[in-house]
Amino acid sequence: MSDIAKIRAAVIGTGFIGTVHVQALRRLGVDVRGVLGSSPERGRERAREMSVPRAFDTLDDLLADENIDVVHVTTPNHAHYPQVKSILAAGKHVICEKPLAMTSAESAEMVDLAKASGKIAAVCYNIRFYPLNQQAQGMVMAGDLGDIRFVTGHYHQDWLAKPTDWNWRLESEMGGALRSVGDIGTHWVDLTSFVTGLKATSVFAELTTFLPERQKPLGPVETFTSGTGETETARIDTDDAAMILIRYENGARAVMSTSQVNMGRKNSLQWDIAGTNASAAWDSETPDHLFIGHRDAPNQTLMRDFTLMNGPGIAAATLPPGHVEGFADSFFNFFRAVYADVIAGGRQQGSTWATFEDGHYEMQFCDAVVKSASESRWVDLSEI
């Protein structure tokens, strides 16, 4: 039996993303022992549908099971903090969905708990693990782009564009004070910080709620699906869209936007990073292409290909060139890296998965955005 097949995992949450976790773990060869659903009935139904051997009735049952080594948390954001605390206290490794917590006060505590536990504690910033993002990070580290000057881009979606679209993320008690910024903007912030190696020092943000009232279904609705049946009118206090200016420690600047109401943009993350030697750009909807821009030579498009990539890019790639690696592959590549560290007994040098410190940085960024938007001024992350 391979080392990875000896590791036993459980997944909390059985919706869209919980299912992606189970499928990626299976492909990796991890032993998926059980799931915990939003109710015992729902957990049993999903366990049957996914052919997972066990549905736990409660988190306590799951944590009492000595045969579980790693727990994946894919529940709504408000549950991350209490669940992660219990998982670490039970002596298990944890892989938590993003954003890590509801506030930076919670995430600060989670960082300390993870450190004290000595366990692997990763945050699901999976987009780092599209191979060409690893390639781009390797290029920046090697100095191929020179010093980074200007970062631009967006993360836009359309699945919440209509007043009848509904999801738990719309409710601040479940998702946090920020929605488009917390749910998808933090992906962009994490990814560009990973690629450039730069951290924001201050932000200036404006948040917009184009749809202050929506029709909330009285029954449950899964992410990226439409509800059916009766609804009630609900007031919305989270951002449909945001515009954010960023200053970095080295004098670099960024401008980015987030939106969950841009018709036709299904799941579009784009970044464009301009350095003193060259620039690079990537688009999540064409993930196997990396633009490389030159001033004194023709521009290039690197198609993902082992024979043309640098070390970090090759390490994250799985399929042969021309066989496009997408969303599900990024989870496979991400979990492959995290589980290699579980087997090694700790984070190894060169590991590039997002730590709880990274997740905490994104929460500080979010808290600074909230403060900036409410006070209409630049806010330093050090104020948070």
- Specify the residue, 117 or 267, whose C-beta has the smaller distance to ligand SOE: 267
- Specify the residue, 202 or 259, whose C-beta has the smaller distance to ligand SOE: 259
Q: What is the DSSP code (8-state) at residue 211?
A: -
- Specify the residue, 10 or 261, whose C-beta has the smaller distance to ligand SOE: 261
- Specify the residue, 133 or 279, whose C-beta has the smaller distance to ligand SOE: 133
Q: What are phi and psi of 291, to 5 degrees?
A: -80, 135
Give residues in contact with ligand SOE (CB under 6 A): 157, 183-184, 187, 223, 267
Q: Residue 187 Cβ, how far from ligand SOE at the closest point, in Å?
A: 6
User: Which residues, in sequence order, are CB contacts of 258 under 8 Å at separation 6+?
Assistant: 154, 155, 156, 180, 181, 184, 185, 188, 239, 241, 242, 244
Q: Residue 372 Cβ, how far from ligand SOE at the closest point, in Å?
A: 22
The CA distance from 58 to 12, in Å, is 10
- Specify the residue, 180 or 196, whose C-beta has the smaller distance to ligand SOE: 180
Residue written as token pair 């009232």: 213
Q: Is 153 left (phi over 0), alpha (psi -120 to 50) or beta?
A: left
The CA distance from 79 to 75, in Å, is 6
Contact between 165 and 226 under an 8 Å Cβ cutoff? The reply is yes
Q: Residue 157 Cβ, how far from ligand SOE at the closest point, in Å?
A: 6
Q: Residue 222 Cβ, how far from ligand SOE at the closest point, in Å?
A: 11
- Specify the residue, 223 or 250, whose C-beta has the smaller distance to ligand SOE: 223
Q: Which residues pair with 272 in a beta bridge?
A: 152, 281
- What residue type is 301 in one-letter code? T
Residue 110 CB neighbour total at 10 angstroms: 25
Closest CB to ligand SOE belongs to which residue? 183
Q: Residue 232 Cβ, how far from ligand SOE at the closest point, in Å?
A: 23
Contact between 289 and 301 under an 8 Å Cβ cutoff? The reply is yes
- Specify the residue, 224 or 291, whose C-beta has the smaller distance to ligand SOE: 224
Give the DSSP H or E segment for 328.
Answer: helix 327-344
Q: Residue 267 Cβ, how far from ligand SOE at the closest point, in Å?
A: 5
Q: Residue 225 Cβ, how far from ligand SOE at the closest point, in Å?
A: 11
In a 13 Å sphere around the CA of 65, the CA atoms on its Cβ side amount to 21
